[in-house]
């Protein structure tokens, strides 16, 4: 890639030689030759420019220019956006040959799009469909009747259950499980008040599926359970981190952010652009409105209004959780104060006894 083209892709001014060809995007300290482009938009990385072997660098427009001269300097105004664009430019994806590996077991009636890649020991079930340009890494299982869109990337060990549907450009990371059965019993044992030996537990089977929109990303070891009758749904553009659990019958809107280890119980409904911090738990049947934010580690036991920011266990409006923490920190003082007041009160009563007696 030429430095000129990179500057243009970033929409950023280039100072120097645009004809330098670069092959890797690196931290300045990692640069090994002039073919490495050094990214130095953070103060820590900028400090490392003093010793870098790179001759082409990307810096933050707002920061002081490097003390050293470089053959090419690109100055970006929005470093985080530049990071996204630069890493996209230099990402060629996991190395994986196109075509169907001879060891893959592909059902005769599976429909495969053009320019597909199916890795070693992948199994592609009957009546399934995989869109053009999609990459299936080794040892993935795609169940009967499942559908994957175009230009998707399914990493090794992912399990896509029968009849589940994934959109275009979906990325699923290693060992995620889409379409396991929901966790549902009759009677509903988490709410049953008397669960004695006399109660017979009956399994509610999962006849539905999972439907995932375009541009969704799903983390490693994440599980999304199928619905009882209908579909567990993840809306377009939502991003889901590793170890997230999404229960049966859940609906998640578009462009949501679910950080690592979030757990969503059955039948929860989440709006658009909702952000859940790491480790958040959401109780069953709860509704969370558009653009709500839940702080990391919170337990959401009741509905959250659109736009709200909640935190804590149980989750409350964030200001109230902060207030609770502050008051907890003031308890020693409060107790001391009440003790002192009690002494003064006693003294007054003692004196008053005298006064009254008078």
Enumerate residues 255-284 that contact a copy of itself by CB under 8 A: 255, 257, 259-261, 263, 265, 272-273, 275, 277-279, 281, 283
297 pairs with which residues across the strands? Answer: none
Cα gap 139→59, rounded to integer Å: 41
Q: Which of residues 66-105 bind a copy of itself (CB under 8 A)?
A: 78, 80-81, 83-85, 87-88, 90-91, 94-95, 101, 103, 105
Cα gap 36→90, rounded to integer Å: 11
**Which residue from 309, 317, 233, 232 is spatially nearest to 275, judged by alpha carbons?**
309
Active-site residue (options: 248, 318, 324, 335)? 248
Catalytic status, residue 248:
yes
Could you tell me how many residues of this chain bind a copy of itself (CB under 8 A)? Answer: 128
User: Got the DSSP string for 76-113?
Assistant: ES-HHHHHHHHHHHH---S---SEE-TT-EE-TT-EE-
Query: Applying CB under 8 A, does 289 fall inside the site for a copy of itself?
Result: no
123 close to 104: Cβ distance less than 8 angstroms: yes
Instruction: Write down the least CB distance from residue 39 to a copy of itself, Å.
Output: 7
Q: Which of residues 144-203 bind a copy of itself (CB under 8 A)?
A: 144-145, 155-157, 159, 161-162, 171, 173-175, 177, 180-181, 183, 185-190, 195-197, 199, 201-203
Q: Which of residues 203-232 bind a copy of itself (CB under 8 A)?
A: 203-207, 217, 219-221, 223, 225, 228-230
Query: Applying CB under 8 A, does 314 fall inside the site for a copy of itself?
Result: yes
Task: Single out the segment in contact with a copy of itself by CB under 8 A; choices: 9-17, 49-57, 60-68, 116-124.
Answer: 116-124
> Rounded to the nearest 5°, which phi and psi values hold at 171?
-115, 125
Distances (CA, A) of 72 to 18, 28, 254, 347: 7, 14, 40, 81
Query: Applying CB under 8 A, does 242 fall inside the site for a copy of itself?
Result: yes
- Residue 311 CB-density burial (10 A; 0-12 exposed, 13-18 middle, 19+ buried): buried
236 close to 190: Cβ distance less than 8 angstroms: no
Q: Which of residues 17-76 bind a copy of itself (CB under 8 A)?
A: 24-27, 30, 39
Closer to a copy of itself by Cβ: residue 62 or 207: 207
- Residues with catalytic function: 248
């Amino acid at each position: 890639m030429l430095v000129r083209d990179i500057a243009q892709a970033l929409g950023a001014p280039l100072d120097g030689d645009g004809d330098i060809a670069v092959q890797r995007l690196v931290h300045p300290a990692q640069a090994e030759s002039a073919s490495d482009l050094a990214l130095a938009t953070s103060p820590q990385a900028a400090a490392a420019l003093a010793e870098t072997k790179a001759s082409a660098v990307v810096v933050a427009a707002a920061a002081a220019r490097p003390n050293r001269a470089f053959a090419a300097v690109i100055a970006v105004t929005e470093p985080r956006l530049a990071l996204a664009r630069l890493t996209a430019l230099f990402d060629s994806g996991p190395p994986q040959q196109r075509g169907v590996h001879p060891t893959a077991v592909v059902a005769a009636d599976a429909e495969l799009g053009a320019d597909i890649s199916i890795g070693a020991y992948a199994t592609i079930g009957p009546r399934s469909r995989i869109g053009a340009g999609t990459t299936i890494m080794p040892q993935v299982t795609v169940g009967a009747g499942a559908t994957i869109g175009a230009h998707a990337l399914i990493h090794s060990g992912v399990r896509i259950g029968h009849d589940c549907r994934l959109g275009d450009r979906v990325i699923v990371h290693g060992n995620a499980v889409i379409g396991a059965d929901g966790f549902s019993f009759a009677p509903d044992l988490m709410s049953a008040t008397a669960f004695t030996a006399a109660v017979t537990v009956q399994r509610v089977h999962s006849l539905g599926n999972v439907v995932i929109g375009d541009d969704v990303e799903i983390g490693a070891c994440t599980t999304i359970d199928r619905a009882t009758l209908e579909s567990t749904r993840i809306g377009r553009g939502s991003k889901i981190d590793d170890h997230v659990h999404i229960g049966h019958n859940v609906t998640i809107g578009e462009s949501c952010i679910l950080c690592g280890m979030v757990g969503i119980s059955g039948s929860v409904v989440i709006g658009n652009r909702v952000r859940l911090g790491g480790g958040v738990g959401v109780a069953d049947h709860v509704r969370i409105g558009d653009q709500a934010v839940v702080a990391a580690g919170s337990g959401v036991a009741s509905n959250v209004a659109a736009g709200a920011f909640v935190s804590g266990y149980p989750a409350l409006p964030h200001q109230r959780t902060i207030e609770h923490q502050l008051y907890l920190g003031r308890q020693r003082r409060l107790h001391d104060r009440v003790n002192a007041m009690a002494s003064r009160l006693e003294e007054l009563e003692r004196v008053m006894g005298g006064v009254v007696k008078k």
